[in-house]
Structure 1
């Protein structure tokens, strides 16, 4: 079976989504990468977060203004650091991320998407609403994008 018509339809949906989100001034979030520190002789540069652009979060997918789709990676909100004792391992990891985000100069209150891997359009012709990928949860990408873009571009009152 030839997937070219489905890919063309999906590309049209992505292009329409970018146009609608841009025109509506929808809220975009920071896209960042985790960069592992490297050794330079006896010294080691610390791990760091680097902002690489902005994206719109559409549930399971992120959409960049250039039409690139990414899977949602680690999502964390930049906020001032607190010094909590007796943290779980997960809280300690998130604190390390917040320290790196603060050092990157990302302002408090920004939502940061870290290490969101790009995805080929042909790999997301169907998207699972709940992330399980089980039959019955998959919808065509154009349908998924229309609903998610509508929610982001024109949020319901009180949202």
Structure 2
């Protein structure tokens, strides 16, 4: 599995596909009377391949299950919007506070996937990854059946091809 992840990273880098940021979200907190704004702590860069994220360093292959994503943005004054919209604005502002330029795509809440085969059996059933017949398979959404799901290598190869060479529409 490590080789498939390494190969995906090399192909994406060679194709010039721009990576996205990977960060750890640190919520707003108070220490005594001092309020600390929510922020994003940079963890590196990744490529988003559907439900998975692939690290950019081929010498140390890394695979993550995608969590949430945002684009860094200035926090406007609160409006009369839904609570969830205000939370999304706060998260976008946290990425800006973490040092990301405005408009940068930032992935956070990603779960690292161990690439050693003995750990595959301990994968949670609510992840988009699962083991069938000793092979790691990727389902299109968490909870879907693993019957007919692609192997990790096939999934990565297909998604890398789509990202490196997007289909064009001939008019």
Distance 1:13 1:94, change over 3 A: same
If each structure's helix is expressed as a fraction of its own residues, which one has the higher value? 1
Partner of 2:157: 146
Provide the secondary structure at the position in 1 that maps to 2:73: coil
Provide the secondary structure at the position in 2 that maps to 1:126: strand
> Structure 1: where are the runs of 5+ without partners?
1-9
Partner of 2:144: 133
Query: In the aligned structure 1, how far is the partner of 2:145 from the partner of 2:26?
Result: 34
Q: 2:49 aligns with which of 36, 52, 58?
A: 58
> Structure 2: where are the runs of 5+ without partners?
121-128, 130-135
Structure with more contact order per residue of length (Cα contacts < 8 Å, sep ≥ 6): 1
Q: Check the 8 A contact 2:23/2:42 in 1, yes or no.
A: yes
Query: In the aligned structure 1, how far is the partner of 2:98 from the partner of 2:158?
Result: 33
- Matched positions, count: 149
The root-mean-square deviation of aligned C-alpha atoms, in Å, is: 2.1
TM-score, normalization: structure 2? Answer: 0.76
Q: How many angstroms does 1:33 deviate by?
A: 0.7
TM-score, normalization: structure 1? Answer: 0.81
Q: Check the 8 A contact 1:127/1:133 in 2, yes or no.
A: no
Q: Check the 8 A contact 2:72/2:93 in 1, yes or no.
A: no
Q: 2:104 aligns with which of 76, 101, 110?
A: 110
Q: How many angstroms does 1:41 deviate by?
A: 4.2
